[in-house]
Structure 1
Amino acid sequence: MSPPAAPAARSHRRPRHVRPVHAVTRIVAAAALAVDAYYHAHLAPQYDGVSASISQGDLFRIEAALAALAALLVLVWRRLPADVYAWLVAAGGLALLLIYRYMDVGKLGPIPNMYEPSWYTEKWITAVAQAVAVVAMTALILARVWARARRSRTTFEDEPRVL
């Protein structure tokens, strides 16, 4: 009598139908981050006059650079640290936009008072782009974490049990 055959090795690759969804989600997130970067870079010169130690225009330029880098990493590197970085850039930018829209925080050390209690087209577009990026990056991060958990659970269940 021959020993029982070993179970077939399971592939840790994503199912084929999941890959296009992830690709489209990455493209949407990168596009949203690119819109965020564009509008911050475009608006920066208008805010150079609002300053303490650093101007609001400079902060807009920094946000533009961070968002552009995040968009690039989401498309090129496609790893969890890049996804988390992109999520942090989008969520942080959206949080600050909303805080400075609804609360007069005042000057914080070298950060100027950026309270602006109005909505205009560029601000709306930026807020929507950041929100889209947050949702897309959240989906990608959760999909990666769930897949990793599923792989580790599957690997554990496939191991022979010793009595």
Structure 2
Amino acid sequence: MATPSPPPAGRQRHIAVLLLRLIAAAGLAVDAVVHLHLAGRYDAVGATISQGTLFRFEAAAAGLAVLLVLLWRRRLGDLYAFAVAAGGLALLLLYRYVDVGALGPLPDMYEPVWFTDKTLTAWAQGIAAVALAALLVGHRGSHGQPAGREDAPGVG
């Protein structure tokens, strides 16, 4: 009885890309759900634009990123999704550790505490950003051609 040979490199790459996309999408989905869940609690924070409104924008941006990562699978969509995840994490950490104050129409969002939803979101955004960074770094196919869709034969 012969031992099965390992899958070809192309198949291994395809599986790795699929796993990275699922990880990124899961992290972005958590980001979207938590921000949408918390938005109502932050509606009173701010004058021109409330923090609740900004949370809804983040939820919408993360939701769109999930769709792009799973369905469109292009470098531009991955860049957008990375910007949402990494940017969201950067802002979460900034407003956790620095009292920036109000900036124009944006409210003062300084909140120097960790709580379950904030911690969950930070981890989700960080994991999504790392997975997306790996996808972006690996966007060159084995043939040296720019990758379009990872599921297209011979392209990526």
TM above 0.5:
yes
Counterpart residue type for residue 103 of structure 2: L
Q: Percent identity?
A: 56
TM value normalised by structure 1: 0.82
The answer to whether structure 1 residue 41 and structure 2 residue 36 are counterparts is: yes
Match in the other structure for 2:138 = 143
Number of equivalenced pairs: 138
The answer to whether structure 1 residue 88 and structure 2 residue 83 are counterparts is: yes
Counterpart residue type for residue 101 of structure 2: G
SS at match of 2:27: helix
Counterpart residue type for residue 135 of structure 2: L
Report the CA distance between 1:151 and its aligned residue. 3.5
Report the CA distance between 1:149 and its aligned residue. 8.1
The answer to whether structure 1 residue 111 and structure 2 residue 106 are counterparts is: yes
What 5-or-longer segments of structure 1 have no aligned partner?
A: 1-13, 153-163
Give per-residue Cα distances to partners, 1:108-150, cap 9 Å, x unaligned: 0000000000000000000000000100000000000x43783
Deviating beyond 2 angstroms after TM superposition, the runs of 4 or more aligned structure 1 residues are: 146-152
For residue 56 of structure 2, the aligned residue among 44, 57, 61 is 61
Match in the other structure for 1:22 = 17
CA distance in structure 1 between the aligned counterparts of 2:17 and 2:38, rounded to whole angstroms: 32
Structure number, greater radius of gyration? 1
The answer to whether structure 1 residue 75 and structure 2 residue 60 are counterparts is: no
CA distance in structure 2 between the aligned counterparts of 1:85 and 1:148, rounded to whole angstroms: 24
CA distance in structure 1 between the aligned counterparts of 2:39 and 2:80, rounded to whole angstroms: 22
What 5-or-longer segments of structure 2 have no aligned partner?
A: 1-8, 147-156
